[in-house]
A and B are shown apart, each in its own frame.
Chain A
Amino acid sequence: MDLGCTPEEEDFRARLRRWLGEVLPHLPAPPAATDWPGRRAYDTAWQRMLYDAGYAGLHWPRDAGGQGATPAQHLIFLEETERAGAPYVGANFVGLLHAGPTLAAEGTAGQRARWLPPILRGEEIWCQGFSEPDAGSDLAALRTRAVRDGDAYVISGSKIWTSHAEVADWCELLVRTDPDAPRHRGISWLAMPMDAPGVTVRPLRTLAGSAEFAEVFLDEVRVPVANRVGAENDGWRVTMVTLSFERGTAFVGEVVACRRVLGALARAARANGRWDDAVLRRRLGRLSAEFTALWWLTQWNVSEAMRGPGRGGQRGGGVPGTGGSVFKLRYSHARQELYDTAAEVLGAGALDVEHAWVADRLSSLSYTIAAGTSQIQQNIVAERILGLPKGR
């Protein structure tokens, strides 16, 4: 068990810290949550800066355009960018955190060369078209049809809760390519251009008031067969890879942010007198232990994945395992408890929807739903880790 950093890693931390110290003061303020073009421009500009400075796709394999960094360097990157208050991945979430890693693991050389560099340079935004109105938790119930016509698939159907669809260039799309096969066997994973004729995006308002996600309607959309990742009808396997990245590693950077918020909460409570309440103090103390442990758990999971076989049997780049569900289960609830505690510190201030902590409290409500609900994660943990029989 080794939590230490090598001199090279410490060197990396120092360089990164210096760079962040130079660039962050000159960054413009982030745009309003409702300003979609502004947010896209802001998020992609930040990604471009990371790219130019050599920090894009840090832990991606080199042949996927990444830097091939060690897991420790990746975690240092997450720690330092968060600590410095650098911008969040934002609209780049899907591309950087799960579509990109899936393409790196499952795409052909040509597909990796086509799609990965623009993700890393912040030129192309991806969204995730998995869920459908009647296929959320039961993802394999998806009905969107793709019928082969020459060298293209002709796609009809609809997707829902598609985050960032309004500004996305590409969609990781699940379609049914064989309606007669057993439900898990007739699915394919495609990269669909969002500007293709027949794609309509209708924004959906979230309970936080913003249009964070959308409905996507697909009316005879033509997508080249060459855009399929993995074999035809083998999309469920590819989907599992995507979900393991989404649950396994996509949220880990946020743990650091939560620890930062926790410190700020404690100071705010001291300033406004709420600190004298032992119940509140003890809640904050407990959350401190939880977020620290979640960060260790992350290191445990990342180390485990890196020991596993990567693509082509090489060490490193391993796909995260079911440990991601364990992490997500606890993290999503801890995050909600954090912002509930923030509300206690704020008192009536918790009714001010413009307060950053209140906005985060609202968005934290989605954490036990998106990327697999807590109930589904519990089923996964019980069945795949503990070996309990499948339910009906």
Chain B
Amino acid sequence: MDFQLTDEQRALKDGTRELLAGRFGRDRLRAAVEDPAPDRALWRELGAAGFFALRLPEADGGVGLGLPEAVLVLEEAGRALLPGPLVACQLLAGVVDGVAAGERIVGLCDGAREPALWEHPGGCDELIFVEGEGGRRGGSTGGPAGGAGEGAQGRTGGAYRSAPDQVSCAPFASVDPLTPLARVLDLPHAEPVAVDMPRLRREAALLTAAQQLGSAVRTVEMAAGYAREREQFGAPIGSFQAVKQLCAQMLVRAEMARSAVYAAAVTERALDITGAKLLADEAAVRNARDCLQVHGGMGFTWEADVHLHLKRAWWHAERWETAGEAEELLAAGLIA
């Protein structure tokens, strides 16, 4: 047992951070708020650096690394608030041509949720739609029952690929300015893709959790940095215990999430991933709120980056496994 990053893992993480700092710094981030479409040039650069092909075998032109490494790079992406369907591109790099190299961008829509949301609908070359257990849920208000709807109880739903213009969508006003969303109403089930669905869901949850971890770590740094500089009553606000306590609790949340996310990447066990998603969601959301609090009135402005972390964290918390679902699964695990 040596539960610390290896030198190679640390180099990968640091390298990703440097690459993103150089190519997606504060100015790019703020520009992306105005135009959040994935930056194709950056995407290709990430592809060339092996960002998406990380887990593909070397024989297939990949880097041949594992889930822990994917978690580390997505943590950095979450830290930088990089927009785009990153998890989808990580998971489908070997499935959809051109994704591994960063040439094409693929989205992933979870049909188990109502509404079924598609991130970056304008920025994807293709959409993979995954049904929930027992086929597509839907019903009268959901509308899009499609061909594989009710009555197919008990079977694991399928995954289908579609060109963007084949997908019927309704507009959806995303709370996260960096993540445009559309509501998927219906899509053709013509072209099934062979993916291991339970595994896809698990890994999607874990990689989303990794982004949440990165955001949680970043907001602690932002809060502590601001608390060291900002003065009131003739002293840095960080010397006041009420502020210290907010910051210390942020660090505790981030470190709990880190332990859980990294360990789940190593064990790959379903319940470990569920626990990791729960703690990472909470760390990202609550740290962003506390960071906002530490920033005072400045924190409530559009100018400060804090709200971008909070809004992204809300979006990620709604994806793949929500707190309620995770807690129920974990409770069931106690008596299994």
Contacts and interface: CB of A to CB of B under 8 A. Distances in A.
A330 B272 CA distance: 19
A85 B265 CA distance: 30
Interface string A213-249: 0000000000000000000000000000000000000
Given A297-B259, A326-B251, A386-B251, A1 B335 contact: no
A379 B235 CA distance: 16
Listed residue (A283, A296, A389, A391) with the most chain B CB atoms within 10 angstroms of its CB? A296
A3 B269 CA distance: 13
A379 B4 CA distance: 26
Interface residues of A, number: 57
Contact of A392 (B5, B239, B328, B329): B239
B244 A379 contact: yes
Majority secondary structure, B binding face: helix
B298 interface: no
A206 interface: no
A326 B329 CA distance: 27
A300 B4 contact: yes
A65 B324 CA distance: 50
B241 A2 contact: no
A292 B260 contact: yes
A391 B259 contact: no
Listed residue (B240, B259, B324) with the most chain A CB atoms within 10 angstroms of its CB? B259
Interface stretch (B131-139, B155-163, B220-228, B285-293): B220-228
B174 interface: no
A382 B263 CA distance: 25
A378 B248 contact: yes
B190 interface: no
Contact of B1 (A4, A270, A330, A385): A4
Interface string A273-311: 000001001111110111011101101101110110000
A385 B331 contact: no
A74 B278 CA distance: 29
A16 interface: no
Contacts of B328: 278, 281-282, 285
B255 A388 contact: no
Given A1-B68, A382-B247, A387-B228, A286 B330 contact: yes
A67 interface: no
A383 B279 CA distance: 24
26 contacts: A1-B262, A2-B266, A3-B263, A75-B1, A281-B327, A282-B324, A285-B328, A285-B329, A288-B334, A289-B260, A289-B330, A290-B279, A296-B3, A296-B262, A297-B259, A299-B1, A299-B3, A300-B259, A303-B2, A306-B2, A307-B4, A323-B255, A326-B252, A378-B241, A388-B224, A388-B238
Closest 8 CB pairs between A and B?
A289-B275, A285-B327, A285-B331, A285-B330, A388-B238, A382-B244, A72-B1, A266-B334
Given A2-B1, A266-B331, 16 more contacts: A1-B266, A262-B334, A263-B334, A285-B329, A286-B330, A289-B326, A289-B330, A293-B275, A294-B256, A299-B3, A300-B4, A300-B259, A323-B255, A379-B241, A386-B247, A389-B236
